[in-house]
Structure 1
Amino acid sequence: MTYFDACAFIGRWPGEKLAFDSVDGLLSNMRRLEIDRALVTHTLAWQNSPALGNRLLMEAISGHPELEPCWVVTPGLQVEDLGGEVAFCEQMAQNGVRAVRLYPREHVFSLNDGPTEKLLSELDRRNYLVVIDLDQIFTQSGLYDYSAASLDVLDTLCRTYPQLSILLTRVGYRAFHILMPMMQTNPNLFLDLSFFATHQGVEAVTERLGENRLLFGTGQPFVDAGGAMLRLVKAGIPQEAIRRIASKNLEQLLDRVKVAPLPGMHKEASVQIITQSADLSTERIPQDIEITDAHVHMGPYHKFYIPQNSAEDMLRVMDHLSIARSCISSHLAISGDWYTGNRLTAQAVQQYPDRFIGYVVVSPNEPELAEDEMRRAFDEWGFKGIKLVPDTHLQPIGGPGYQPVFEFASKRDAFVLVHTYHSSHFDDPQLFGEVAGRYPDVPILMVHSGALPAGFNGAIDLVKKHPNLYLDISGSFITGEWIRRMVLMAGADRVLYSSDQPFIDPRYSLGRLLFAGLSKQDLSLVLGGNIRRLLGLAGVS
């Protein structure tokens, strides 16, 4: 099978040290992951000047036919400086460029003003592939809130320029309920897998729209390529559909572009750069390590649509991925009603006691009810841990409302896991040092380890200082590189595998971990040994 990555980058990044920034680094990672070709953008075309970054890209990939250029363009004066829209497109044709990227939010331009219309009209005439990161048009209006109205421009774009192929990358999971109807009415709208994290989203798109609307893409090195790889090879769709998504769909979109092939590029470059393994999917999920997911949910969620979110749906995915057990708290419990939600969790645990391990959620706003609820959960329902969500209950983790929780946990040797988010007033990892020191005998898992790269190092430092703190690898921004750093700096016995299923499709977190290059011993601890030790669980075999 051939893999053609629709979303890869080279170049330095100011916000953090990435896993690689050069062509050699990209090619090395492609070989490691058995990716044959890649559509590549230079970060300086994004973060400095399109003209400079595009030129550096062409210099860097020269002599590497497995790498195809994707230029960045900013409409208006910058295109005028290049001689106008026609001249710019001719320059791309001379360089064999068949795809362009737009950054309307960061380059501060409208997608429906005059200069943009002139550029897109010329690109439309030539059937170009236009790539846009979703966060360039799907704007955040709060810590966890987004404006759906901002996506209206995408529908207009698809309708106005029907000959463009518009590819959204790094789609996440919050916009699926908007994008799916839009894709049904706009056949020129496509998604890549660089972080298409909707639970069972690949299966839902393939079932409703066919296998032609998804493209394999990794987002490397910003997004961990292992997540996209496992998401595809372990998708619950026919093998031929997997093959199309792996490379054929992107090849067909690029072949539509009215750019003549250049020597050493395009179809002439489709020779595999490595020898593919016979069955990547089964080789990458170890069958001799018991996988226990330390943190999942269940049921619908109010901020976005989740396909196949029931306990039975989750079990089918767990079986497909060889996940033995998962530790669960319902979405209702962590959002609108912790009391009723705990009873939904209890139903799932009682129905599938060999597969689900319960976490009880309590609210710091009702501390008088906490002890009775925790006692009931542990003594009657057989739960093994306590889940806290300070960002939902709007109380900082060190506040008095949590005192009954940690006192109960201390008495009962109970495990506590807490949602974290860097810069949150309620659960930034830096708030956990005082709590860990106050309750040194209570093991505390910092779920998401701060959630953002800016918070990861601080979370690691805290774990090194406090032996009762632990790191969690679920979330949108964890990569294999960060997992390696966590294991190296904090120790493999302090890092826990979790997926956040069905909030996020578990294949992303599992793929990042399996492709991170950990030793068998370390992988065994992270994949389940640690959480079973903390919960006092024996293995299933």
Structure 2
Amino acid sequence: MTSRQTDSGPNGLAYFDAWTQIGGLIGDHPSLPAALGDLEAGMDRCGIANALVARRDVKALDSLEANVALSDQLSGGLSPVWVVMPGAAGDFPEGEALAQLLDEYHVPAVRVCPRTHGWDAMSLSGRCLIAELSARGWPVFVELGTEMEIGELARLAEAVPGARFVAVNLEWTRQRMVSALARDCPNVHLALHLYHANRGIEQLVSLGAADRLLFSTGSPVREAGAARAALDWADIPDTTRRMIAGDNLRRILKYQPTAKRQPAAAFDSIVLACQAGKPLPCDTIDFHAHVVNDGSNSGGSQVMLRGDAKGMLEMADRTGVREIGLMTWQGIQGVEQEAGHRTVVDAVQTNPDRLWGLASIHVGDKTDSRKIAELDDLRRRTRILGLKPYPTMGLPYDHPKYAALWEYAQAHGLYVGVHPYHWYEPGEFRSLCSRYPELTVVAYHAGSSYEIADTVITLCREFPNLYAEINYSTVTGGVIEYLVKGCGAERVLFGSDQPMRDPRHQLGWVVYADVPEAVKTMILGANARRLLSRPSAT
């Protein structure tokens, strides 16, 4: 089933993307989408009406010339974000001259890059620049990490209380800091595209920040559909969803776009279900997930709200995920192997028809017989379908101490999920796949970059027992299509890494991919179903 999109989208929302970036950088992979046409294609495919557009390269260009060139380049619902800086050095306009230029080009928002351009936002000239532009109606975008730390932005927001800041690049790994920023800084708005914290949107809304949350994608170098799906499936009132989708951004801009994009593409049934906030209509299986203890919201270093089996199944019901493969968190991040396995066993036992476990055996100085005894015991206790080693165990996976486990897995029909010890150096995979040709080896995080995808594609072409699992918070633009073309659609698997990451972004990465609906069904679940349905030895 397909349906033609209207100008406001099937769910009645006109999505306005608060942060996109175009243009190449030194070191970009040749296949990385970064051009204006890539941005427009992604917007149309994902049903996004408008977008603010910034340049990726702010280091090698005359800032004023680049600003004007960006404005001249954009049309059709796209609006520029200009870079601004203090003008005391004589290379950039300031005061009334800058304001006149911004007005002349109808610039809706500005951006500051103090680290890249070598100035201090907390200095008198920096604070005056921000205060003057804010008084004239321009919101100020700040990229966290590269240009300013969260604490620096909080202090700047306090020092210039009349300014409206937009924090960009909110890493989900800093959820505790982001939460404090949202709660304590009422003049800071939050662009959400990198905030993949589990139930992160709902949590920020609960802190009273609903009117300061901004839909953003980071497209085209990131897949726009990841952010779109996260908001469409968010467990929030529709009025709040409308605010985040675009109303909040429109309220703070100096100038409004004069047009909306009118996508011509028809949406398939998978996209339509997502946009309606309904479960996916196809068999969907999450091949990569962790789990925390019943009632827990934390994995120690990472917040994992509702990260127990009950919470994960509630999320699965919302999105349409039918089965989930669970592995320990504390057992791979620390030394608590048995405690981690107990967590997995208890979780799987809550619903063994929808959950299965993976074993994470610390090989260390254990004898082969002890390793196998531990694995046998775990399989007697619950439904274990795979093994999950991890780099913290201290040995590469082609080390002889792992051999007994790989032989066992091959003999008993278990798969091995591999987060490489040597990050995507192909030797470990070649060793496993060649020495154990009947062992299914799943390469985790294959979509994290084009460079890693290239390695996985080469290996998949060499070894028929290797599969590519996609998940990573980069949600790299175009890489799903790249893996499908390079590995074959039948070798690509969906995984989320929940509850460390929110599964909705990872689902959206596939849901909105530029591939046929039949290929989406393969990635989302059919390929995993085929692997899980293979007969296992006793």
Q: Do these two structures clear the TM 0.5 threshold for a shared fold by scoring above it?
A: yes
Which residue in the other structure is 2:20 paired with?
Answer: 8
Matched, 1:533 2:530: yes
Structure 2, unpaired ranges of 5+ = 1-12, 293-297
* 3-state SS in 2 of match to 1:301: coil
Which residue in the other structure is 2:5 paired with?
Answer: none
The CA distance in 2 between the partners of 1:118 and 1:417, in whole Å, is 54
Distance 1:225 1:367, change over 3 A: farther
Which residue in the other structure is 1:440 paired with?
Answer: 437
* 3-state SS in 2 of match to 1:209: coil
The count of residues paired between Structure 1 and Structure 2 equals 510
1:11-90 → structure 2 map (5 Å cutoff): 11-14=23-26, 15-17=28-30, 20-45=33-58, 48-61=61-74, 64-75=75-86, 80-90=90-100
Question: Which residue identity does 2:199 align to in structure 1?
Answer: Q
Choose between structure 1 and 2 for higher RCO, CA contacts under 8 A separated by at least 6 residues: 2
* 3-state SS in 1 of match to 2:513: coil
Tell me, yes or no, if the aligned pair for 1:18 and 1:221 is still in contact at 8 Å: no
Which residue in the other structure is 1:304 paired with?
Answer: 302
* 3-state SS in 2 of match to 1:530: helix
Deviation at 1:367, TM superposition (A): 3.7
The CA distance in 1 between the partners of 2:524 and 2:332, in whole Å, is 24
The CA distance in 2 between the partners of 1:464 and 1:115, in whole Å, is 57
Task: Write out per-residue CA displacement over residues 397-420 of structure 1, whole angstroms, 9 at most, x where no aligned residue.
Answer: 222332222122122121000113
Which residue in the other structure is 1:197 paired with?
Answer: 196
Which stretch of the first structure deviates more once superposed, 197-206 or 269-278? 269-278
Distance 1:345 1:366, change over 3 A: farther
Deviation at 1:55, TM superposition (A): 2.0
Structure 1, unpaired ranges of 5+ = 139-149
* 3-state SS in 2 of match to 1:388: coil
Which residue in the other structure is 1:318 paired with?
Answer: 316
The CA distance in 2 between the partners of 1:523 and 1:133, in whole Å, is 33
* 3-state SS in 2 of match to 1:175: helix
Which residue in the other structure is 1:212 paired with?
Answer: 211
Deviation at 1:39, TM superposition (A): 0.6
TM-score, normalized by length of structure 1?
Answer: 0.87
Tell me, yes or no, if the aligned pair for 1:10 and 1:42 is still in contact at 8 Å: yes
Tell me, yes or no, if the aligned pair for 1:104 and 1:136 is still in contact at 8 Å: no
Which residue in the other structure is 2:136 paired with?
Answer: 126
* 3-state SS in 1 of match to 2:186: coil
Deviation at 1:279, TM superposition (A): 6.2
TM-score, normalized by length of structure 2?
Answer: 0.88
Identity %: 27
Tell me, yes or no, if the aligned pair for 2:167 and 2:190 is still in contact at 8 Å: yes
Tell me, yes or no, if the aligned pair for 1:297 and 1:503 is still in contact at 8 Å: yes
1:371-520 → structure 2 map (5 Å cutoff): 371-390=372-391, 392-420=392-420, 425=422, 428-449=425-446, 451-479=448-476, 481-520=478-517
Tell me, yes or no, if the aligned pair for 2:280 and 2:319 is still in contact at 8 Å: no
CA RMSD across the alignment? 2.6
* 3-state SS in 2 of match to 1:136: coil
Matched, 1:339 2:338: yes
2:286 equivalent among 270, 288, 293: 293
Question: Which residue identity does 2:513 align to in structure 1?
Answer: A
Tell me, yes or no, if the aligned pair for 1:349 and 1:356 is still in contact at 8 Å: yes
The CA distance in 1 between the partners of 2:62 and 2:381, in whole Å, is 63
Deviation at 1:108, TM superposition (A): 4.8
The CA distance in 2 between the partners of 1:218 and 1:324, in whole Å, is 27
1:248-263 → structure 2 map (5 Å cutoff): 248-254=247-253, 257=254
